[in-house]
Structure 1
Amino acid sequence: MAAFIYVGIDLQLIHHLWLLPAAGIGHIIGLRVHDKMLEADPKLFYRGLGIILFSLSAFGLWRSF
């Protein structure tokens, strides 16, 4: 980072500061979802994940034709 600053590259730090609250909120939501996934029945989780992946794959194949 010091080399970038030395040669005068604008790091746009103010924009990074504006993104911190969104990253924090996303992190908190992710932690809560992870806790719920650990408490849930594994069979139900993998079934839901499979349905989502299958539907996305089917949609992608449908859009490619």
Structure 2
Amino acid sequence: MEDFDMQAMDIHETARRLREAKGESARAIAAQKARAYEDEGNLAEARNWRRIEATLDRLQGPRMT
């Protein structure tokens, strides 16, 4: 399997689509995918999913306390 880093536009688009499809659970799904890729040693794909997770945080905006 070829390792590659996604481009910023791909990261943003994937995050946006995941949020549209899964709503509030999108961030947890991205974190689970990242962890699964880390566990199997696919660090490039894990890094992509960590970037998607971070993008979802930014898309959510500030949290209210």
TM-score scaled by structure 1? 0.31
Higher Cα Rg, which structure: 1
Q: Which structure features the higher share of helix residues?
A: 1
TM-score scaled by structure 2? 0.31
Work out which structure has the larger RCO, using CA pairs closer than 8 Å and 6 or more positions apart in sequence.
2
